[in-house]
Structure 1
């Protein structure tokens, strides 16, 4: 799966731009997620099916509490890696407000299956790109242990409790650093993912068998129960119909028979009295039931009950019941096939649906950022203040020096004082965040969580420092082309 060359825009990078010096290690790699529309449709449908049941089943990509370590200051300032750079954000439609921070419409969750088949999610954001189709998240939310990519990877902006308000965007290609991909080096723990157009599944439609056979999207056969007369017509007209079971009357058995059920049977007055005294068949079933009726109803009644009048002259019918134990009978059931197709709706490119944040690199440290994410893990001491259902944020200045975490080969992480826990990983750190426009510049994504004072609570989060290598990876991802996966009629494109 590694080192896949993807289609780039015709006016994108020249051959010279893709040429590396002799013996130079590449700074970026790309891997396929689901390049073909059919694969992307399958991945998105996996999460949308049954009203988003799989989305609700997913849990945050867990960090083991034992891996929440302290960070060690290196004493170094931001790496000297070229001139600072930025790409401006794109505008987005109005988003909801929460507290004193307006939530950006670009944030959401990425969903995927890990190697054990567990349903997982991380945080992420839409970012500005040439084709309005890029997602930024943590590298470990795309690559498992820095190796192969996760399966069924999708982005759901604005996710909330199993709902995908702007559709599901299936990943097509993933881009990350060579060091993360090759050495699991968390100094490069970020990824940019090019996604196909989003789509939703708003409904279904019954069609003819021929339309069903020609349909390229989701489809299924729904059995509809019919009676014997309609079944005979269906067979005569060579329709797709079938029957199940057989007609079999109930058998009289004793109460000790396995599966026997008790039934009540209406009888006349004499049979009831015989059962009451132990003569005849069966035993009485409760006391007689008397109902008041009109004279016309009494005159018309031909049943087993006893007609009469009460003390004040009202007409009555008294019913008598005995009981019997039976082995239940069965009846043949008849079915006809209904051909159903799922109607998908194209939601357009990601950037058109929710906008995209800007991207910044080689920026001075010690600047204010606002970090967003969906924290869900408990703290190391077991306290669980977050549910992972709604996005949270932290705001403050990043550290003025870089930090290292030896167990993850980290040497130059930037840090932010913040108590968000696992599940927030992959969420954006937005520099120059405009609370009115709800836009800023992604200058990091949450990579790791730290308990710096040792009290069993996360108090710092860290991110890879976005440097010239980040700009290089972003530049390559910026040219990845994707498109629709469903047509104007809801059909799956090939």
Structure 2
């Protein structure tokens, strides 16, 4: 990016970078997602509930075709380093394995969130090495809506597949991004690091007594079982009004009766057609179902009202009978409407039903820190252009021409060398993006660009995250993707996120922690 920062040591990130001179323009911002365990638990439960229904309902963050723009190369061939290059090593390195195919790392997955319109969305992301084994790297626009407000119910699901979370759900606690993205919606800073709570998974339910139910701090609910009166009476006598046994009086469906039935009430008065009226008993009679018919009119109306009723009747909006009276020459001289009604006489009654309450608590299991469970990719900054990278993501959008080769269900990848020049995209304030020839589409947003990817160990160094998609040759097909260039300023933001401590949100018994 554009501001020159103090260079970071090549061997690692220095804690001294936590401080800036008071007059310096900040390079980073931090925002709360869900730092409170109760909010984090609620969000994770939202996505996991009903066997992952919300996860399956979510759709990829969507790029409009009009935003698929061309890249403009700058004159620079050296990129935009603002200090010495540096690397931090990956963690949780698995045992090497031999394969001719590309091995998917456990660290990649999807982030899920709810946008301001209430839509369920997802992007791609990866676990990244961190001091507290709790950091996720993704695109800034997959955390910040229009560069300002953070999305709600933000969670990371590594290894996500069709509503399943094999290694748990990790709710976001704190988000870190570039000051320029947050302030100016500048996509040169389109990246984010999110510190997440320990993961958890749902572990079924347990029925408890009312006391344990009241004390439970996690998910809980009451099921009502209907029982017979002969079961209810001795149990209510034993446990009293504070017990789980109770009764309630319900209104029954009104029963039709004759109009002279003691206590009968008119339930409703419904308009019918003239044909139905003429086929029914006279208005002074009551048939065996307790029904009475009534005629109202004819009533004189204006010619304008008559014309409107004719039009409404033709559209089936009016049941009234309408007519125009003509003179001997056939001219209309008067207009009338007549309405016909059915009155239904009913009696109302009640019944008493009996219930027992069952108290359930939702059990959850702590799945541990993200980096301990799936590992974390390394981090690289101020690297030369032209690096070989392996990029992962979950593409789901169609190409601008409408062709949809990807489903968004399974991760895909691109392998190649990044461009040797920096690139601009004026509509998104981009001046220094790095690029890669790749045909992945929207949904791959936030996926990691892994430098020095070891296919056997399934680890590398995050040197970018997919930000934008481009059609360079104008054939309405995505052929390039781009990422913020990871310089010392990005490393500075990462360093702040690296010191964000989080913890478990559920205890050893599945209870919600404070």
TM-score range normalised by the length of the shorter chain: 0.7 to 0.9
Q: CA deviation at 1:22?
A: 4.4
Residue by residue over 1:284-313, the C-alpha shift from the partner in whole angstroms, topping out at 9 and shown as x without a partner, is: xxxxxxxxxxxxxxxxxxxxxxxxxxxxxx
Preserved CA contact (<8 Å) 1:135 1:195: yes
TM (norm. structure 2) is 0.76
Aligned counterparts of 2:460 and 2:94: Cα–Cα separation in 1: 15
Residue by residue over 1:297-333, the C-alpha shift from the partner in whole angstroms, topping out at 9 and shown as x without a partner, is: xxxxxxxxxxxxxxxxxxxxxxxxxxxxxx9x99754
Whether 1:140 and 2:141 are equivalent positions in the alignment is: yes
Query: What value does the CA root-mean-square deviation take over the aligned residues?
Result: 2.7
Residue by residue over 1:457-484, the C-alpha shift from the partner in whole angstroms, topping out at 9 and shown as x without a partner, is: 1000000000000111111111110001
Aligned counterparts of 2:163 and 2:99: Cα–Cα separation in 1: 20
Quick check: 190-199 or 240-249, which moved more? 240-249
Alignment of 1:54-133 (within 5 A): 54-76=54-76, 77-92=78-93, 100-133=101-134
Residue by residue over 1:100-129, the C-alpha shift from the partner in whole angstroms, topping out at 9 and shown as x without a partner, is: 211110000101111111111100000000
Q: Which 4+ stretches in 1 moved above 6 angstroms? A: 94-99, 246-253
Give the secondary-structure state (helix, strand or coil) at the position aligned to 1:233.
helix
- Structure 1 counterpart of 2:26: 26
Task: Specify whether residues 249 and 193 from structure 1 end up closer, same or farther in structure 2 by C-alpha distance, changes over 3 A only.
Answer: closer
Residue by residue over 1:347-406, the C-alpha shift from the partner in whole angstroms, topping out at 9 and shown as x without a partner, is: 110001111000101111111111000111111111111111111111111111111100
Aligned counterparts of 2:170 and 2:364: Cα–Cα separation in 1: 13
Preserved CA contact (<8 Å) 1:27 1:473: yes
Give the secondary-structure state (helix, strand or coil) at the position aligned to 1:54.
helix
Q: CA deviation at 1:235?
A: 2.2
Equivalent pairs, count: 413
Give the secondary-structure state (helix, strand or coil) at the position aligned to 2:226.
strand
Aligned counterparts of 1:370 and 1:135: Cα–Cα separation in 2: 18
Q: CA deviation at 1:251?
A: 7.7
Alignment of 1:145-160 (within 5 A): 145-160=146-161
Aligned counterparts of 1:18 and 1:352: Cα–Cα separation in 2: 25
Whether 1:450 and 2:455 are equivalent positions in the alignment is: no
Q: CA deviation at 1:19?
A: 3.4
Quick check: 463-472 or 98-107, which moved more? 98-107
Preserved CA contact (<8 Å) 2:97 2:457: no
Q: CA deviation at 1:98?
A: 10
- Structure 1 counterpart of 2:309: none
Residue by residue over 1:161-215, the C-alpha shift from the partner in whole angstroms, topping out at 9 and shown as x without a partner, is: 1111111101010011111111111111100000000001120000000000000
Preserved CA contact (<8 Å) 2:159 2:167: yes
Alignment of 1:179-258 (within 5 A): 179-236=180-237, 237-238=239-240, 239-240=243-244, 241-243=246-248, 245=250
Match of 1:381 among 393, 401, 421: 401
Whether 1:334 and 2:339 are equivalent positions in the alignment is: no
Alignment of 1:354-393 (within 5 A): 354-393=374-413
Structure 1 unpaired stretches of 5+: 1-11, 259-326
Give the secondary-structure state (helix, strand or coil) at the position aligned to 1:121.
strand
Quick check: 339-348 or 40-49, which moved more? 40-49
TM (norm. structure 1) is 0.79
Match of 1:412 among 432, 447, 462: 432
Alignment of 1:302-317 (within 5 A): none
